[in-house]
Amino acid sequence: MTKGAMLYEGKAKQVFETDNPNEVIVRFKDDATAFNAQKKGNFDLKGEMNNAITTLIFEYLNTKGIPTHFIKKLDEREQLVKRVHIIPLEMVVRNYVAGSMAQRLGVEEGIKSPVTIFDLCYKRDDLGDPLINDHHAVFLGAATYEELDEMYELTSDINDILIDLFDKMNIILVDFKIELGKDSEGKIILADEISPDTCRLWDKDTMMKLDKDRFRRDLGGVTEAYVEIYERLKKVLQK
C-alpha cells in the first residue's frame, strides 16, 4: 500500500489517497481549533493520542457490531480507513447539559438529562455548522427520512456502548459528536474520529474535564488530559 496525494486537509486531520480507490489514509495533526477556528493552538502528542484513542474506540465498536470505516492503525499518526462519502450532518448526542446547549437554552452546565438528546448540525464551516432539524436535512438533500431514522438508531447504539465503556474508566460521557458516511456499497457507517476533541469527558470523582474544553476554556493540561484518557482506555480494554 502506498501513500498518494493529499485529498483534503481539515482543522485537525489530513486525508491521503492510496493505491486502493476504496481506502484512504487519515493523518492526525497536533493542531487544535475551537469556536469555528477563531481560536488556534498546537499540542505535542495530541495527534498521536487522538489516533490511538480513535483506534481503540473504533476497534471496540467493531467488536460490538457497529460498522465503522476503520481498517487499521498504520503508525503513531496515521490510520487506514475505508473511503466514504461523508454525510454533511454532525450527529451530536447529549447525556448531560453542556457547551452550546447550556448557553442556547440558559440551562446550567452539568445537569443530567432524563432523556438522550440528539442535535443535528449542518456541516458548513462558512455558516458555523448551524443547528438544524430533520426537515431541513431532507430539504438540503443531506439524507432521506429513512436514512435519518437509521442514523439516529446507529448513533443511539454508539451512545449506549460508549456510556458503558467510559463508565468503566470512571468517566461521565457528557456529550459527543460523530460523523457518518456512506461506503462504496451505500451502507451508512461510522467515520471521522471519536476522541477528547469530539467528546466531553468528566472524571466521575473530581468532575475534572478531560477533553477539548481544557483548550477552549484555557484550563491548561490539554496534553495530560488526552494522555489520561488513553491510559484509562488501555487499562479497561486490556491493551
- DSSP codes joined into one string, 55-77: HHHHHHHHHTT--BSEEEE-SSS
What is the Cα gyration radius of the chain?
Answer: 17
Look at residues 129, 183, 133 and name the one whose alpha carbon lies nearest to residue 21: 183
Q: If binding is defined by CB under 6 A, does position 162 make contact with ligand UDP? A: no
- What is the number of residues in the chain? 239
C-alpha cell at 175: 456529550
Nearer Cβ to ligand UDP, position 129 or 147? 129
No. of H helices and E strands in the chain? 6, 13
Q: Give me the phi and psi of 209, to 5 degrees please.
A: -80, 125
129 binds ligand UDP (CB under 6 A): yes
214 binds ligand UDP (CB under 6 A): no
Smallest gap from Cβ 21 to ligand UDP, in A, equals 29
Nearer to ligand UDP, 124 or 135 (CB): 124
Q: Is 191 one of the binding residues for ligand UDP (CB under 6 A)?
A: no
Q: Which of 88, 99, 134, 156 binds ligand UDP (CB under 6 A)?
A: 99
Considering only 139-147, 150-158, 197-205, 217-225, which stretch makes contact with ligand UDP by CB under 6 A? 197-205
Q: Closest distance between ligand UDP and the C-beta of residue 72, in Å? A: 24
211/172 Cα distance (integer angstroms): 11
179: contact with ligand UDP by CB under 6 A: no
- The window from 13-21, 43-51, 132-140, 169-177 that contacts ligand UDP (CB under 6 A) reads 169-177
SS (H, E, C) 117-178: EEEEEECCHHHCCCEECHHHHHHCCCCCHHHHHHHHHHHHHHHHHHHHHHHHCCEEEEEEEE
Quote the least distance from Cβ 202 to ligand UDP, whole Å. 11
Q: Give min distance, CB of 35 to ligand UDP, in A.
A: 7
- Footprint of ligand UDP (CB under 6 A): 92, 98-101, 129, 175-177, 198-200, 212
